[in-house]
Amino acid sequence: MGFPIKTCVVCEEEFELRPNHPGYANRCIECNAPKEEKAAEPESMTADERRVQREADAERRRVIREMLYSKK
């Protein structure tokens, strides 16, 4: 008894669905391969960017805290 034949939803080619098939069961091995285009490491932020991000996060937390605990 052979493996079931599936059709890839991305490239529409037929492939055998084998045990330990990495990724999605409705995509062939080539379409399941991770894309190399994404950068491995995020770009580093400058000190000013980190400060602005930290301040924005603090303000966001303050607003959410007020919304959660305000008694209206």
Q: What is the pLDDT along the chain (72 residues), one digit of tens a residue?
A: 678 888 989 898 998 888 887 778 888 888 887 766 555 566 788 999 999 999 999 999 999 999 998 876
Q: How far apart are CA 67 and CA 61, in angstroms?
A: 10
* Cβ 51 vs Cβ 44: under 8 Å: no
pLDDT value for 19: 83
Domain-located, residue 56: yes
Domain-located, residue 25: yes
Tokens of 41: 């490491």
The answer to pTM > 0.85 is: no
Domain-located, residue 39: no
Domain-located, residue 40: no
